[in-house]
Structure 1
Amino acid sequence: MFNNQLQSERANLTSLANTHTNIPKLRAGFVGGQFWSAYTPCDTQNKDAVKRTLEQIDVIQRMCQMYPETFVCVTNSAGIRQAFREGRVASLVGVEGGHSIDSSLGVLRTLHRLGMRYLTLTHSCNTPWADNWLVDTGEDKAESQGLSRFGESVVKEMNRLGVIIDLAHVSVATMKAALRLSTAPVIFSHSSAYSLCQHRRNVPDDVLRLVNQTGSLVMVNFYNDYVSCRQEATLSQVADHLDHIKKVAGAGAVGFGGDFDGVSRLPVGLEDVSKYPDLVAELLRRRWTEAEVRGALANNLLRVFEAVEQVSDHTQSPEEEPIPADQLQASCRTMYGYSEAPSLHRQPGALLASLTTVLLGLGLL
């Protein structure tokens, strides 16, 4: 909207209008933590997805710097709890779409170093290593039958790093493959219950049972089309999805996914982030216990995040095998590192020699 220019007066988060989220609305909704989506559209795949993802992460970090009294950027579960105590909004980076890593384990690791703590394996497009939800509608063709071998390496590396695996937007085959492979719980960051609204962005009951078995989490999306399968929806219908997931997968498997400012239509009664207390009140009317409500608000996600952190092991050797060259796309891509790539025209040892020269030169300064 503002081309990443946070200092524009129109982008002032204390007075920002015509959005679902601003600072006064966050305060009115008692929001204590937020994954901010570093999202870049599918048409950036094989082009400038990495650059644009880095720019989005930069925006999130600059937002925390510009409004330190409201936001604090954190990268772990302890940081979220500390932000709660300070009364600030714990702000984390979620990268929404596997195309943002450009089929590179090195990029995955670098985004983790920059603060990414969840990665959605696909957006609404296949990556060369994972299938998206449009495969289940027939609009896209299955290419990986869920996860390819490289896709499995991505999941394993996310486990090693401590990055939460997000299965919103993926195909059912990808859901099942990731749930079975991951050694840590996963999340659906913004998906609802397929049994209540037969939209392929939602989670079917057999997958909800796997969610239960793996201690994973479904964070309910408020988008009308995924709540009621119509253009209109209500707060009560969102609560129905929460009830259904609780019934099938357990109270520990339920969260709030919102998708505010990511969708065009929201239910009556949930028009922006200030309305969260009204949803809490509805759940209490439905005889949810205080512990169950606290779980949906924060504790279920914290449990998953802590489990992901416990599984991570940075002393373990990283995944290194690159994706096969024939699985990559786009004619503008160079192929350095693959056997068919043109030679870099350096003799063995030449790179080390050039580095030595630089280091010796620095030593003379």
Structure 2
Amino acid sequence: MGVLRALYDLGVRYLTLTHKCHTPWAECSETINHVAPNAPGLTQYGKEMILEMNRLGMMIDLSHSSSQTARDVLATTRAPVIFSHSAAFALCDAPMNIPDDVISALVENDGVIMVSFYNDFLTCGKPSNIASVIEHINHVRTMAGVDHVGVGAGYDGINRTPEGLEDVSKYPELFAELLQDPSWSLQDLKKLAGLNFLRVFGKVEEVSQHLSEEKPSEEIIPIHDIDAKWPCRYKFASLDNALI
């Protein structure tokens, strides 16, 4: 909890709960050591962490989290969440993609899913193009509404991009294509381009203000959680024993 507060004081405003490893308190979307995800999800300590993030005003990013972790967070958080770079599981069954029930839950949570441009998430590794991205954007819009979808390309961490969307200079091509669809208004596209994300950011800060009188959490990670939920630590052992 102290590390979380220190990061917030340094200017960090969103935390991705997991990447390609579990943390001691949240499960990622990857299969690790032959153990499939979606069993434990978020631990009790993890729920305390979510509430402390709410109190601070730290946005919760559920990209790379398992679907069970996402469900547990949505049942716990008092503030909207983001998926900073994810896509729809219904269109590509990549482990990191979001199932429809979680997408639909964003309506009540008032969060936002920012669609990734990574081929492995759009078309399960096959060649993709602007139409592939639009298909995922439209699917999220169908399941949750235009107020809950955004753009989260992920160019800083991907090496296979859609044809026609190779870098940020191509963003206008995406919006020009969407403008040809009469179901997308100019205001809708403004929401997609960033207004939805800014709304979530503002609401997270509002929740923090309402919780400002609550005491900071002083919970610590139970030792058994560290032993049970940190199977990736062996990857770091050869680099520096101090890291584990």
**TM-score, normalised via structure 2 length:** 0.89
Is residue 2:52 matched to residue 1:157? yes
Evaluate the alpha carbon distance shift between residue 214 and residue 269 of structure 1 in structure 2; reply closer, same or farther with a 3 A threshold: same
- Structure 2, unmatched stretches of 5+, are 228-232
CA contact (8 A) 1:130 1:143 kept: no
Evaluate the alpha carbon distance shift between residue 143 and residue 233 of structure 1 in structure 2; reply closer, same or farther with a 3 A threshold: closer
CA contact (8 A) 1:192 1:220 kept: yes
Aligned to 1:326: 224
Q: Structure 2: how far apart are the matches of 1:247 and 1:216?
A: 15
Aligned to 1:362: none
Aligned to 1:122: 18
How far does residue 315 in structure 1 lie from its aligned partner after superposition? 2.9
Q: Structure 2: how far apart are the matches of 1:139 and 1:179?
A: 27
CA contact (8 A) 2:29 2:37 kept: no
Q: Structure 2: how far apart are the matches of 1:251 and 1:197?
A: 21
Evaluate the alpha carbon distance shift between residue 138 and residue 208 of structure 1 in structure 2; reply closer, same or farther with a 3 A threshold: farther
CA contact (8 A) 1:128 1:144 kept: no
Give every structure 1 segment of 4 or more consecutive aligned residues whose post-TM-superposition deviation is greater than 4 Å.
141-144, 329-334
Q: Structure 1: how far apart are the matches of 2:105 and 2:216?
A: 27
1:231-270 residue CA offsets vs partner (Å, 9 max, x unmatched) = 4110111011111100111000100001002101000010
How far does residue 141 in structure 1 lie from its aligned partner after superposition? 4.8
- Structure 1, unmatched stretches of 5+, are 1-104, 335-365
How far does residue 316 in structure 1 lie from its aligned partner after superposition? 1.6
Aligned to 2:128: 233
Evaluate the alpha carbon distance shift between residue 294 and residue 113 of structure 1 in structure 2; reply closer, same or farther with a 3 A threshold: same
How far does residue 282 in structure 1 lie from its aligned partner after superposition? 1.1
Q: Counterparts of 1:74-85 in structure 2 under 5 Å?
A: none
3-state SS, counterpart of residue 159 of structure 1: helix
Aligned to 1:211: 106
**What is the root-mean-square deviation in Å for CA atoms of aligned residues?**
2.0
Q: Structure 2: how far apart are the matches of 1:210 and 1:138?
A: 30
Percentage of matched positions with identical amino acids? 43
CA contact (8 A) 1:196 1:228 kept: yes
1:249-306 residue CA offsets vs partner (Å, 9 max, x unmatched) = 1000100001002101000010001011111111111221111100010110011011
1:36-56 residue CA offsets vs partner (Å, 9 max, x unmatched) = xxxxxxxxxxxxxxxxxxxxx
Q: Structure 2: how far apart are the matches of 1:143 and 1:325?
A: 21
How far does residue 230 in structure 1 lie from its aligned partner after superposition? 2.3
Aligned to 1:306: 202
Aligned to 2:215: 317
The letter of the residue matching 2:218 is E
The letter of the residue matching 1:128 is P
Aligned to 1:292: 188
Evaluate the alpha carbon distance shift between residue 286 and residue 268 of structure 1 in structure 2; reply closer, same or farther with a 3 A threshold: same
Aligned to 1:71: none
Greater RCO, 1 or 2 (C-alpha within 8 Å, sep 6+)? 2
Q: Structure 1: how far apart are the matches of 2:39 and 2:123?
A: 31
Aligned to 1:191: 86
Aligned to 2:139: 244
How far does residue 184 in structure 1 lie from its aligned partner after superposition? 0.5
How far does residue 143 in structure 1 lie from its aligned partner after superposition? 8.9
Aligned residue pairs: how many? 229
CA contact (8 A) 2:52 2:216 kept: yes
Computing the radius of gyration from Cα coordinates, the structure with the larger value is 1
CA contact (8 A) 1:128 1:143 kept: no
CA contact (8 A) 2:86 2:98 kept: yes
Aligned to 1:222: 117
Which shows bigger deviation, 306-315 or 150-159?
306-315
Evaluate the alpha carbon distance shift between residue 139 and residue 258 of structure 1 in structure 2; reply closer, same or farther with a 3 A threshold: farther
Q: Structure 2: how far apart are the matches of 1:144 and 1:248?
A: 25
